[in-house]
Amino acid sequence: MFSGSLVALITPFQNGSIDETGFQSFVEWQISEGTNGLIPTGTTGESPTLNHDEHKRVVELCIEAAKGKVPIIAGTGSNSTAEAIELTQHAKDAGADAALVVTPYYNKPTQEGLYQHYKMIVDEVDLPVIIYNIPGRSIVDMSVETMARLAKLPNIVGVKDATCDLARPLASRLAIEGEFCQLSGEDATIGAFLGQGGDGCISVTANVAPRLCATLHNSWQNRDIDTFSEVRDQLMPLHDALFCETSPGPVKYAASLLGKCDDYCRPPIVPIAESSKTAVRDAMVSVGLLN
């Protein structure tokens, strides 16, 4: 259903508010560069510090700017099931193609709690849902068994896997019957993830290197292994640099170097250190994004 290079969009700000014009221009640029799908209001989009009105507005702006050219997978997760339902319903009403729903963070539900959380969402809202499994941020890790159980429900259509467990996509593919898209949430492991049966990546790096990321996935799908290997290796220094501090600090700075937005992130994310700025700039030069 979803595959290739998808981008976890940054949210540009201007004077502390959403830069609506800048955001829509950024969406249009992503599409023109070959990005296969757009994810507004994820972690990279600073969803934890967007209020509900801002969250909904960003989703609406993205859908409006994309004009149906690529799928929109709106981030609608929360550690409150009722809030996740509300945001998912809004995404459906706004015209999103799917919702990306993170495992509930901080309150640490059991595997049964995870199952019921997602079941209640899809019972209430008729919209495809991608599970976002990121134990490094949410603490809980959805097991392969729970994911396979959820995959039997209508509208549970895939996973964004940010576990860094490269046995996971193969184990999931063998455990889940029928169509179920597996999207990596870790740029640096994408080559191995695809080799283990993955379908694509919801990428941070694609914010600043969308054409290269699209080329990577297109070459994989076309079985052009020489191009795939070349671009995979070319991108690696950038993947590393964009996670030298907590995301989205580094990628916001990288985007500012391209003139795409201000590097401002809402607190508690703060401006990255000068040494980190040097690392990001050097990586962008090495990849060929800056002179």
- Please list the active-site residues: 132, 160
CB 201 within 8 A of CB 193: yes
Closest CA to 167 of 143, 146, 151, 140: 143
CA 6 to each of CA 116, 213, 259, 281: distance values in angstroms, whole numbers, following the listed order: 28, 9, 21, 23
Can you tell me the distance from the alpha carbon of 55 to that of 105, in angstroms, rounded to the nearest whole number?
18
| CA distance to 102, 117, 151, 225, per residue, from 84 (Å) | 9, 9, 19, 40
The angle subtended at Cα 149 by Cα 147 and Cα 151, nearest 5°, is: 70
